[in-house]
């Protein structure tokens, strides 16, 4: 006969050791016959212990033993009966797929997601364009107040940051350029380097990335939390168009402000470069300015500024769409905000590369 005498506190805090012993008991070979589990020594008892003892009894019964409980008090009996009604808990988990299958699956899932996302984005652009069409047909429906509000928030308020960063980058580019070009005795061309690199590429790229991080994320978070609180649904139910109320003002505001910010960023970059050139190369501001004038023509500035509204539209559209794709939970807002920033910076750089190819093709 097998006799299991339980004593002391049978609560979850002390269960670990007992569980191990009982497990090894039921896993090993046992002699057939009678088994008794003696409860009389138990001081405190809880559901977890009841579950463990019930399981032990069940496993012993499966091995052909007759199991009896002895000395069970009334509350313990109630608990055991309760646990018994739940039967064997199924804790088995599906075995993980082999890694190569998982790899293929992930590639497949991601590819499909990219395809769906591209379709969704295209659809969203279509919706926005048609909303812009409606607004253009009836200009009084354009929301002027949010438009100005977003110009201030994403444009004017970004000025200090944009100015400081572009000034510093301008200075760094000039300093590095001067050090390298000095080896050829061509340090005067530092001015050309700064002027062309900033006006064509860096001024805009830097500004676009700052704005994507500052305003793109803000758009997603604002619209996303409205979506989460069902405010977007409320708008629709009240017969208001969220495109008209939320998306168009933001897209329009950014499209107007990003070129302006870029222009200021260009100036600050030139200023930063000028300061370095003044101290490192002893070039007077007057000479610096006339050399800048020689280095650039109308198209150098135009190439930078033409790209700005397109990038602004991309940032705003990506931001707004990510916000509108938020689903119920709060972490979804966070995930979408991250995704919106990553995606808009990615697209800004892709767009820049496409423009570079285009401008090379047309010869500017």
Partner 1 sequence: MAQKGEPIIEVEGLMTRFGDHVIHEDLDLTVNRGEVIGIVGGSGTGKSVLLRTILGLKKPDAGRIRVFGIDLAELPEEERRLHERRWGVLFQDGALFSALTIAENIQVPYREHLHLSQELMDELAAIKIAMVGLRPTAASLYPSELSGGMRKRAGLARALALDPEILFLDEPTAGLDPIGAAAFDDLINELKEALGLTVFLVTHDLDTLHATCDRIAVLAEKHVILVGTIDDMLRSDHPWIHEYFHGPRARAALAGK
Binding segment toward partner 1, per CB under 8 A, in 109-117, 167-175, 302-310, 329-337 = 329-337
79: region left, alpha or beta (phi > 0 left; psi from -120 to 50 alpha):
alpha
Q: Considering the rule CB under 8 A, would residue 168 count as an interface residue with partner 1?
A: no
Per CB under 8 A, contacts with partner 1 among 244-263 are none
Beta bridge partners of 8: 42
Per CB under 8 A, contacts with partner 1 among 132-151 are none
Q: Considering the rule CB under 8 A, would residue 52 count as an interface residue with partner 1?
A: yes
List C-alpha distances in Å: 338 to 69, 170, 221, 326, 344. Answer: 58, 28, 10, 12, 10
Q: Which of 28, 29, 89, 98 binds partner 1 (CB under 8 A)?
A: 89
Contact 276, 329 (CB under 8 A): no
d(C-alpha 54, C-alpha 48), whole Å: 10
Residue (96 or 139) nearer to partner 1, CB: 96
Spatial CA neighbour of 274 closest among 288, 264, 295:
288
d(C-alpha 109, C-alpha 104), whole Å: 9
Q: Which of 26, 36, 48, 306 binds partner 1 (CB under 8 A)?
A: 48
Number of chain positions touching partner 1 (CB under 8 A)? 31
Q: Which of 1, 27, 74, 86 binds partner 1 (CB under 8 A)?
A: 86
Per CB under 8 A, contacts with partner 1 among 330-359 are 330-331
Q: Considering the rule CB under 8 A, would residue 55 count as an interface residue with partner 1?
A: yes
d(C-alpha 170, C-alpha 173), whole Å: 5
Q: Which of 83, 199, 246, 313 binds partner 1 (CB under 8 A)?
A: 83
Contact 276, 174 (CB under 8 A): yes
Residue written as tokens 């966070």?
Answer: 334
Q: Considering the rule CB under 8 A, would residue 225 count as an interface residue with partner 1?
A: no
Binding site for partner 1 (CB under 8 A): 11-13, 15-16, 19-20, 23, 43-44, 46-48, 51-52, 55, 75, 78-79, 82-83, 86-87, 89-91, 93, 328-331
């Amino acid at each position: 006969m097998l006799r299991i005498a339980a004593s002391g506190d049978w609560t979850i805090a002390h269960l670990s050791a007992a569980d191990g012993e009982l497990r090894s008991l039921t896993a090993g070979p046992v002699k057939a016959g009678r088994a008794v589990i003696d409860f009389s020594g138990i001081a405190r008892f809880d559901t977890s212990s009841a579950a463990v003892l019930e399981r032990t009894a069940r496993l012993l019964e499966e091995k052909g033993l007759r199991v009896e409980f002895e000395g069970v008090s009334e509350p313990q009996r109630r608990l055991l009966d309760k646990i018994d009604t739940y039967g064997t808990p199924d804790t088995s988990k599906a075995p993980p797929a082999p890694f190569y299958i998982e790899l293929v699956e992930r590639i497949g899932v991601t590819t499909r997601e990219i395809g769906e996302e591209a379709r969704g984005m295209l659809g969203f652009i279509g919706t926005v364009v048609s909303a812009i069409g409606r607004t253009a047909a009836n200009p009084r429906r354009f929301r002027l107040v949010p438009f100005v509000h977003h110009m201030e928030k994403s444009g004017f308020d970004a000025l200090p940051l944009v100015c400081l960063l572009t000034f510093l980058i301008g200075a760094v580019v000039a300093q590095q350029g001067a050090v390298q070009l000095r080896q050829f005795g061509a340090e005067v061309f530092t001015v050309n380097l700064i002027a062309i690199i900033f006006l064509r590429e860096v001024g805009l790229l830097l500004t676009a990335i700052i704005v994507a991080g500052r305003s793109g994320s803000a758009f997603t978070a604002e619209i996303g939390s409205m979506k989460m609180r069902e405010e977007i649904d409320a708008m629709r139910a009240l017969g208001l168009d969220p495109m008209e109320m939320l998306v168009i003002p933001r897209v329009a505001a950014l499209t107007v402000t990003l070129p302006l910010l870029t222009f200021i960023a260009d100036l600050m970059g030139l200023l930063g470069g000028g300061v370095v050139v003044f101290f490192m190369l002893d070039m007077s501001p007057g000479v610096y300015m006339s050399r800048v004038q020689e280095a650039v023509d109308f198209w150098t500035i135009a190439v930078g500024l033409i790209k700005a509204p397109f990038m602004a539209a991309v940032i705003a559209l990506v931001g707004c769409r990510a916000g509108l794709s938020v689903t119920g939970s709060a972490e979804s807002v966070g995930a979408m905000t991250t995704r919106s920033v990553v995606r808009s910076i990615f697209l800004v750089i892709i767009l820049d590369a496409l423009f570079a190819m285009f401008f090379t093709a047309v010869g500017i």
